[in-house]
Amino acid sequence: PLCAGIGGKKKKKMMYLTTKNAEFDRHELRIYEEVAKVPPFRRKTLVLIGAQGVGRRSLKNKLLLSDPHRYGTTIPFTSRKPKVDERDGQTYSFMSRNEMECDIRNGRFLEHGEYDGNLYGTKINSIHEVIETGKICILDVNPQALKVLRTSEFLPYVVFIEAPDFEVLKAMNRSAIELGVVTKQLTDSELKRTVDESERIKRAYGHYFDLCIVNDGLEAAFRSLRLALEKLSTEHQWVPVSWVF
């Protein structure tokens, strides 16, 4: 009723493996996209994009805690063995390496990677499961995942969490250590890497972002994000024409 056609069509699902994205990226990176203005409607997913160490996870967790009836998130899958105190489906969903490799080959994972000899990843189905509970699914993913998510199937609101400049980031890291929020003091080269990666992501994927927030303070960034999300239910929105027709 809010926007005829939005989310109503069944599209051919295009599965995307992050390990084989170079060819995909060459064909799929759109510089121009036709958009349409539509009445307020509820997004199915909130996608947080940003460089490593820029605070996406902190913002995601604050949102989940602020309104657990409105927001949910996926539980990652892993091929590692559960620890003694871990229950399946709580922090991780566990599966064998063979099963996971098979699902990756069959395009069932939005993204995946390997760490310390174990596979980790986000299943596409687990996003649908959160949406089916009536919640907005919050995802903090690699920008390549937008090639799958930015469709009428997932109706994402894409927010880029941008790194502040180097000196501000350095002061924030120092302050977080003093408050006991983090224990690791980042080196200048690590901080510079975050700033450089942030700029690179913005250049390459900026045309996909609905909103950019510079995280130069967690509370201020959180307020900006929450305000923008509240406006979605009251203000008209620009969306890709392909979502509507």
Are the C-beta atoms of 60 and 73 separated by less than 8 Å?
yes
Are the C-beta atoms of 47 and 146 separated by less than 8 Å?
yes
Look up residue 118 and give its two tokens: 């174990």
Between CA 170 and CA 178 the distance in angstroms is 13
pLDDT at 223: 97
Query: Which residues of the chain have a pLDDT value below 50?
Result: 1-27
CA distances from 85 to 81, 90, 94, 226, 230 (A): 12, 11, 13, 34, 38
Between CA 89 and CA 100 the distance in angstroms is 15
Domains of the chain: 40-70+136-237 (3.40.50.300), 74-134 (3.30.63.10)
- The identity of residue 175, as a single letter, is S
The separation between CA 182 and the C-alpha centre of its own chain, rounded to angstroms, equals 22
Q: For 61, how many CA atoms within 13 A lie in the half-sphere containing its CB?
A: 5
Q: Give tens-digit pLDDT for 86-98.
A: 899 889 999 999 9
Q: pTM score, two decimals? A: 0.84
pLDDT at 15: 36
- Residue 162: phi and psi, rounded to 5, are -95, 140
CB atoms within 10 A of CB 208: 20
Helix or strand run (H / E) with residue 36: strand 35-38
Q: Give tens-digit pLDDT for 210-231.
A: 999 999 999 999 999 999 999 9
pLDDT at 29: 53
pLDDT at 13: 33
Between CA 20 and CA 30 the distance in angstroms is 18
